[in-house]
Amino acid sequence: MKILLAGPRGFCAGVNMAIETLETAIRLHGTPIFVYHEIVHNKHVVDRFTREGAVFVDRVEDVPEGAVLLFSAHGVSPEVRRVATKRNLRAIDATCPLVTKVHLEAIKYARQGYRILLIGHEGHDEVIGTIGQAPDAFTLVETAEQVDELPFGPDDKLAYLTQTTLSVDDASRIINRLKTCFPQIVGPPKDDICYATQNRQEAVRVLSEEADHVLVLGSQNSSNSQRLAELARDNGIPAHLIDGANEIDPAWFQGNETVVITAGASAPESVVQDCVRWLEQRYHASVEERTIRAEDVYFPLPKELRAAASAARLPMA
C-alpha cells in the first residue's frame, strides 16, 4: 500500500485561532467556561475541551449570568450578542475573520436595499449566524435547481454571498446560474469561500487522480470535511469521512492500493497520524507527503483576550 498525505490538510488559521482562544480563556478565567455551539465542528476537539471544563451550549439563556461565554469560530447573530449583553456575560469572540468578512458584506448589502441570496446549507451554524445579520434580507439557496424557483425578476436589487466552507465547484454552478437568471445580481469583490477550504479541495482534486481510495479525517457535521469526501466521489474514487482510525473498515482495502489521506480544516493532525499508523501496521504502507499549495496564514487572538492575557502576564498558548 502507498499513502499519499495531502497537503495542506487539517487545521486552518481560523480553527487554530479559535482553539488557541479557548485554551487561553481557560487559563485566564478557569472553568467552567461556556462556549456557544461547538468551538469547531470536530468531535475530538470538543471532547478534549469538555474534559478540560468547557461547557458547550446551544442557548445563551443556559449560561449563568455574569459567566464567561465564548462565541465559536462559525460566528453568531447580533441577537445572540444582545442576549449575552443583557445577561451580563463576559463575551469572547472567536469568530473566524473570514466569516466576519461575510457578516460585514451582509450588513452592507442589506443597508443598501439588496435582497441577499445566501448560498449555503440550511441549519449550519455559520449560515444561521450570517442570516442573523439581516434576517429580513436573506433567501437561502442550496442548489442550482432552486435558482429557477426564486420569485425575483429583472428589476429586483439582488446580491449573493456564500457560506465559507462550500464546495468550490458546487458554489460556482449556483453562482453561474444566478448570473444567468439575474444578470443584475452583484457579489462580493473577493470570493467568500475561504482559502483553506479551496486549498484542501484542490489537493484532493489533484491527488485523487492517483488514488484508489480517499480517507478524509473529520466529523460528520463538518461542512468542509463533507465536501472533501464528496469531491473525491465525484471523481469516481471511493471515499470515507471518518473521525479516527477506529472507524476504518479493513473490508475497504485489498492491501495494494494508493490511499490519499487528508483532513478537514477542523480535524487535528493526531487523528491523521493514527490512521497512517493503522495502515502502516496492517499493510506495510509507505508514506509520501504531497503538498499542493503552501499556507502561511495566521489570525491573532481576539484583541480583548490578548489585552487580558498581557495584563495577567499569561504566556500565549
Are residues 287 and 200 located together in one domain of the fold? yes
Using pLDDT thresholds of 50, 70 and 90, give the confidence band for residue 304.
confident
Q: Name residue 247's amino acid.
A: E
> Residue 310: its pLDDT value, please?
75
How confident is the model over 108-121, as pLDDT tens digits?
Answer: 999 999 999 999 99
Q: Would you name the residues annotated as active-site residues?
A: 126
Q: Percent of the chain scored above 90 by pLDDT?
A: 94
How confident is the model over 216-248, as pLDDT tens digits?
Answer: 999 999 999 999 999 999 999 999 999 999 999
Whether 187 is covered by a domain: the verdict is no
CATH number of the domain encompassing residue 150: 3.40.1010.20
Task: Reply yes or no on whether the pLDDT at 258 is more than 60.
Answer: yes
Are residues 113 and 48 located together in one domain of the fold? no
> Residue 315: its pLDDT value, please?
67
Whether 275 is covered by a domain: the verdict is yes
Whether 189 is covered by a domain: the verdict is no
Whether 190 is covered by a domain: the verdict is no
Residue 36: domain span: 13-96+298-311
Global pTM reads 0.92
CA atoms within 13 A on the CB side of 134: 21
- Tally of domains within the chain: 3
Are residues 176 and 214 located together in one domain of the fold? no
Are residues 25 and 67 located together in one domain of the fold? yes
> Residue 317: its pLDDT value, please?
53
> Residue 190: its pLDDT value, please?
84
Task: Reply yes or no on whether the pLDDT at 21 is more than 60.
Answer: yes
How confident is the model over 280-296, as pLDDT tens digits?
Answer: 999 999 999 999 999 99
Q: Are 261 and 3 in contact (CB under 8 A)?
A: yes
> Residue 253: its pLDDT value, please?
97
